[in-house]
C-alpha cells in the first residue's frame, strides 16, 4: 500500500531538473536515445554513490531487487549493467560537469553567511589537488609514471561552507602550479595555497590583480629584511617582517616587498613561516587564514572515504570523469539538503542515514531527525547485576 513518497525521490526533489535538461540539450546527450535517459543515468549513478555500490553488476542487482519501486524513485528506463556501461562510455561527461557547476552556484549562495571564526569579510579560497591512483593496465590513457597510472583532482574551495568553486580533472603529470594559469583571480579575495604553487611570476600577476595570497615559505627561501614589525609573542607570532627577494630570477619575477611571518602553533609546537602580499591584517589573522586551509584536506579525505571515486565502474576517460562529476554533484546535493532543511547533522551522518533509508516511505525530514535523537541511557544504579 502506498503510504507516501520514498526518501530517494524526496532527496532528488532538490535537483534543479530544468537546468539539468538544459545541460543535456547543450551536449545532445539524448540524441537517438529511446529508453535510458540521461536523468535515469544520473539517478542510478547517484544511487550508487549514496549506497556505495561496488560495481555496475552490484547497482543492477540492487535496483532490480526493488524493481516495483523504481518508477516512484523517478527511474523510468530499463536498469541494466549494459545500459549503464554504454551511457557512461558514450554520453558526454561535460553534461554532468556543467550540472555540478549549477549545484555549486546554488550551494555557494546557501553557505555565503557561514562563520569561519576569522574576522574577515572577504572571500577565502583554498587551492589544492589530490591524486587518484589507477591501474595502468586498465587505464592506459592515465599514464603517470612508468608502471603507474593516476589522475589529479585540482580543486578551488570556498572555505565558507567547504564548497568547491572550481574543479579540474587532469592526468597525473600536470604540475599543480600550472593551475594558476587557468584560474581567474578575484580582486580582494584571499587564496590559501601550499608550497607547490609558489611561482613568483604567477603570484605577482595575482598581486597586480589586487588579489591576496597566503602560502608557506620553502626551506631554501632567500630574502633580505627591510623592516620588522612589533609582535605579541605570547600568541605564537615570533616575527612579522617586510622582506625583498634576493635570488636573481625570483627577485626579477616579484620585484615588490612581501610579508614574512613566523608562527609557532601552540597546540603542536610546529614552527611555520608564511608569505603573503597583505600588509594590513594582523599577523595572527594570517596564521588563522592558513590554518583554515585544512578544510580542503578534509574535503578530499571525505569524498575518498564516503563517495565512489577511488574505484570506477568504467575504464574510459569519459566514464571516469562522468563518475567523478556525479560523485561531486552528490556531495553538493547533500550539502544543499543540509542547508535547505536546516539540519545540524554532519554531512557524513546525513549520507549514512540516506544510505539506509532511500527506499523507505516516510518524510525525509523525519528520517534525518530520528538520526539526530540520542538513545536513552539506562541508569547504572538500576541495572541488574550479571554476576
User: What pLDDT, in 10s, does the model give residues 106-164?
Assistant: 999 998 878 777 878 888 999 999 999 999 999 999 988 888 899 999 999 998 888 89
Instruction: Check residue 185 and give its pLDDT.
Output: 92
Cα separation values, 293 from 64, 116, 124, 155, 163, Å: 43, 11, 9, 12, 13
Q: Which residues of 193-220 are buried (b: 16+ CB within 10 A; e: fewer)?
A: bbeebbbbebbbbbbeeebbbbbbbeee
Stated pTM of the model: 0.88
Instruction: Check residue 384 and give its pLDDT.
Output: 34
CA 330 to chain centre: 11
Domain boundaries, the chain: 7-96+315-369
pLDDT above 70 covers what percent of the chain? 95
Average pLDDT of the residues in 197-216: 96
Average pLDDT of the residues in 14-24: 95
| Grid cell of 201 as nine digits | 611570476
**How many other CB atoms sit within 10 Å of the CB of residue 317?**
15
Q: Is 30 exposed, middle or buried (0-12, 13-18, 19+ CB in 10 A)?
A: middle
Element (H, E) at 71: helix 70-73
Instruction: Check residue 371 and give its pLDDT.
Output: 65
Across the chain, mean pLDDT equals 89
| Cα distance between residue 5 and residue 328, in whole Å | 25
Instruction: Check residue 383 and give its pLDDT.
Output: 38
- Angle, vertex CA 85, rays to CA 138 and CA 29, nearest 5: 120
Instruction: Check residue 271 and give its pLDDT.
Output: 93
Nearest CA among 4, 40, 67 for reference residue 360: 4
- DSSP class of 33: -
Handedness of CA 334, 297, 197, 317 (dihedral sign): negative
Average pLDDT of the residues in 351-379: 75
User: What pLDDT, in 10s, does the model give residues 299-342?
Assistant: 999 888 888 888 899 999 999 999 999 999 999 999 999 999 99
CA 17 to chain centre: 22
pLDDT above 90 covers what percent of the chain? 63
With left for phi above 0 and alpha for psi between -120 and 50, is residue 157 left, alpha or beta? Answer: beta
Instruction: Check residue 15 and give its pLDDT.
Output: 94
The neighbouring-strand residues paired with 131 are 152
Average pLDDT of the residues in 40-68: 91
Instruction: Check residue 284 and give its pLDDT.
Output: 93
User: What pLDDT, in 10s, does the model give residues 297-309?
Assistant: 999 998 888 888 8
Residue with cell 595572527: 284
Answer whether residue 386 shows pLDDT above 50. Answer: no
Amino acid at each position: 500500500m502506498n503510504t507516501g513518497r520514498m526518501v530517494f525521490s524526496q532527496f532528488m526533489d532538490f535537483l534543479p531538473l530544468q537546468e539539468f535538461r538544459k545541460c543535456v540539450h547543450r551536449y545532445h546527450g539524448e540524441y537517438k536515445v529511446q529508453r535510458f535517459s540521461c536523468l535515469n543515468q544520473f539517478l542510478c549513478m547517484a544511487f550508487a554513490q549514496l549506497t556505495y555500490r561496488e560495481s555496475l553488476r552490484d547497482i543492477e542487482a540492487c535496483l532490480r531487487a526493488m524493481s516495483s519501486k523504481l518508477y516512484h524513485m523517478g527511474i523510468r528506463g530499463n536498469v541494466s549493467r549494459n545500459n549503464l556501461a554504454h551511457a557512461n562510455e558514450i554520453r558526454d561527461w561535460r553534461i554532468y560537469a556543467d550540472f555540478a557547476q549549477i549545484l555549486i552556484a546554488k550551494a555557494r549562495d546557501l553557505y555565503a553567511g557561514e562563520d569561519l571564526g576569522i574576522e574577515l569579510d572577504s572571500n577565502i579560497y583554498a587551492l589544492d589537488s589530490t591524486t587518484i591512483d589507477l591501474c595502468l593496465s586498465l587505464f592506459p590513457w592515465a599514464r603517470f609514471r612508468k608502471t603507474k597510472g593516476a589522475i589529479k583532482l585540482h580543486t578551488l574551495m570556498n572555505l565558507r561552507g567547504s564548497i568547491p568553486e572550481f574543479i579540474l580533472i587532469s592526468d597525473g603529470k600536470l604540475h599543480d602550479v600550472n593551475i594558476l594559469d587557468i584560474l581567474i583571480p578575484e580582486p580582494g579575495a584571499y587564496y590559501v595555497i601550499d608550497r607547490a604553487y609558489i611561482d613568483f611570476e604567477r603570484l605577482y600577476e595575482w598581486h597586480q590583480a589586487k588579489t591576496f595570497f597566503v602560502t608557506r615559505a620553502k626551506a631554501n627561501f632567500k630574502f633580505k629584511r627591510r623592516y620588522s614589525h612589533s609582535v605579541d609573542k605570547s600568541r605564537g607570532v615570533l616575527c612579522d617582517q617586510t622582506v625583498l627577494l634576493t635570488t636573481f630570477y625570483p627577485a626579477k619575477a616579484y620585484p615588490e616587498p612581501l610579508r614574512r611571518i613566523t608562527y609557532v602553533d601552540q597546540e603542536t609546537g610546529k614552527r611555520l613561516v608564511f608569505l603573503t602580499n597583505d600588509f594590513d591584517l594582523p599577523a595572527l589573522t594570517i596564521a588563522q587564514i592558513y590554518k583554515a586551509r585544512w578544510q580542503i584536506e578534509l574535503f578530499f579525505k571525505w569524498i575518498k572515504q564516503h563517495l565512489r571515486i577511488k574505484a570506477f565502474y568504467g575504464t574510459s576517460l569519459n566514464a571516469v570523469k562522468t563518475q567523478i562529476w556525479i560523485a561531486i554533484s552528490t556531495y553538493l546535493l547533500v550539502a544543499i539538503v543540509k542547508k535547505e532543511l536546516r539540519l545540524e547533522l554532519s554531512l557524513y551522518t546525513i549520507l549514512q542515514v540516506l544510505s539506509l533509508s532511500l527506499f523507505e516511505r516516510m518524510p525525509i525530514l523525519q528520517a534525518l531527525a530520528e538520526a539526530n535523537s540520542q538513545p536513552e541511557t539506562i541508569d547504572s544504579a538500576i541495572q541488574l547485576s550479571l554476576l
